[in-house]
Amino acid sequence: MIRSVLGFGPMKWVGLAMCVCLVPAYAEAAGLNATEHGVRGLGRGGAFVAGADDLGAITYNPAGIFGAGSQFFVDATVGIFGSSYTRQALLRQVDPNTGETIATFEQTFPTVEGSATPLPIPTLAGSVMPHPDWVVALAVTAPSAVLASYPDVVANQPAPQRYQLLSLDGSLLLNIGGYVAWRPVEQLQIGVGLEVLVGAFNSRQVLSGCLPERFFCAPEDPEWDLVAEIGAAPIITPTGNVGAIWEFYDGWRLGASFHLPYYIIAPASLETRLPSAAPYRNAEQEGKDATMEFQLPWEIRLGIEARDMVKGLRIEVAADYEHWAMHDQISVTPENVAVTNLPGFPEKYYLPEITIPRNFQSTIQGMIGAEYEIPASQTVDVTPRLGFSYETSATPVEHTSVLTLDSGKATLSGGASISVGDARFDLVYAHQFIQAVTVSPETARLPQTVPVSANPPAEPNYINGGIYEWHMDVVGLGFSYTFEHPKQKHAADEEGEAPPVKPAPKPPPTEALPSEAEEDAG
């Protein structure tokens, strides 16, 4: 008899379901982020660290919000995403008496298509200037993540990716922040932001309840499929960022920023539909609460910008490092979650703490961007911009899945601004050139877990072999209105706390010249 090695144990779905639900949605970082954030920043290819000077700076460098002055800011980008996955798996022929593998075969499944609803990724922000050298801002943003969905059925058969992911529909994350920027001297700006990541998640995934140690079953038999749905809320995770911009030479600016990591601890609610196979006929789930923990990386951005080498032209080169290596696992602690009346097990089988290996790697991104301000009239300026970036993958090839699609990718972007007085309208278009990923079944390392087994399986089942391809295009629009522009420091001093002006010194006394009468008398 031929058995697929792609089986899934019935209970550790808790940890993997959380992994499915939470990792992509939390990814407010370039390693798993769809694109750079914001209309203007994306138009510059993400090279907006030293040149940041509006409220879009909250993502790139909080020091840049000083350039916004008193401003209202709103923008949104929409990602157009599509993917295809052709699953490849190892099948092994098993001796029904001894359980030993007799032969191994490779199977290719029908290609499955993935998609994501084109939802706006917004930024809404406002700032005021309580002092000529201070700017205070509040902002709400959403992570630039893709919430992908895949079909349940392909070619009248259960979808081949169902053990990785079905849907993340219904998930929502927001980043709420307060920011302060200070200009101690004319050439230096310093910014600090305090942020809270909040939100809720929903995911759906099919797992397998095959019990290979006690029942002879095919792990991918639909009768053994277990449908798991999870809702995780509330997510409340504090974090923050700091940054500085220094004009070290006339027309040359150096920028740097640091974003703190995310330490995420969240409650979750679990719902399942147990398999229809005979051993589960009387089984039931008892309890549904659990706690999930994992970490997302800290980030460093650096940039240098040259201004007005040609009047109106700005060019920036930047780099970004994200320490994804700290995202090595997800731990899940079920709280009295049990399966009852399962033959061969205690009346109540309580799920133990579960660790899901992730083994991510840190990413490096290089970026270059330029914009050129062209006066069209006394009150109208047109500013076209271009950008390019390349980023390495946060996901090792052997851990790639439809859940965490990532690879080396290049992004080419272009956009423009039209300024009419103090109002500015922005637009952007970006296209990603993404490297396809092939995971051979022999090297795939995304395992299915079998928590009801007395011992770990001698030959783990890996479910992520195959060919992954996907594409991403982004369009976006933005608007900002500046009520008060920051002034040069000496100009601000004249209007505000100007130093007293010293009186001009009196001319030295001079000797009186003799009059003509005195000269005649002499």
Report pLDDT digits (tens) over 412-427.
999 999 999 999 999 9
pLDDT of residue 276: 84
**191 touches 63 (CB < 8 A):** yes
Place of tokens 């920043």: 41
How many structural domains comprise the chain? 1
**259 touches 241 (CB < 8 A):** yes
Tell whether 493 is covered by a domain. yes
The whole-model pTM stands at: 0.84
Percent pLDDT > 70 in the chain is 83
Tell whether 454 is covered by a domain. yes
Provide the domain limits for residue 303.
2-498
**355 touches 330 (CB < 8 A):** yes
The CA distance from 231 to 13, in Å, is 14
Mean pLDDT of 348-354: 78
Tell whether 507 is covered by a domain. no
The 10s digit of each residue's pLDDT in 456-485 is: 566 777 889 999 999 999 999 999 999 999
Ranges 78-92, 215-229, 333-347, 487-501: which has the least confidence: 487-501
pLDDT of residue 345: 78
Which residue did the predictor score with more confidence, 85 or 498?
A: 85
The pair of structure tokens assigned to 213 is 């140690």
pLDDT of residue 508: 58
pLDDT of residue 239: 96
Ranges 13-17, 93-97, 122-126, 162-166: which has the least confidence: 13-17
Nearest residue to 367 (alpha-carbon basis) of 31, 36, 38: 36
Query: Rounded to the nearest 5 degrees, what angle is found at the Cα of 117, between the Cα atoms of 113 and 120?
Result: 145
The CA distance from 300 to 322, in Å, is 7
Tell whether 118 is covered by a domain. yes
Mean pLDDT of 82-97: 84
**Per 3-state DSSP, what percentage of the chain is helix, strand, and coil (rounded to 5)?**
10, 50, 40
**57 touches 50 (CB < 8 A):** no
Question: Could you tell me the pLDDT band of residue 132, with boundaries at 50, 70 and 90?
Answer: very high
Nearest residue to 448 (alpha-carbon basis) of 8, 4, 3: 8
Tell whether 504 is covered by a domain. no
Tell whether 49 is covered by a domain. yes
* Residue 183, domain CATH: 2.40.160.60
Mean pLDDT of 335-356: 81
Tell whether 471 is covered by a domain. yes
The 10s digit of each residue's pLDDT in 93-109 is: 766 666 677 778 888 99
Tell whether 363 is covered by a domain. yes
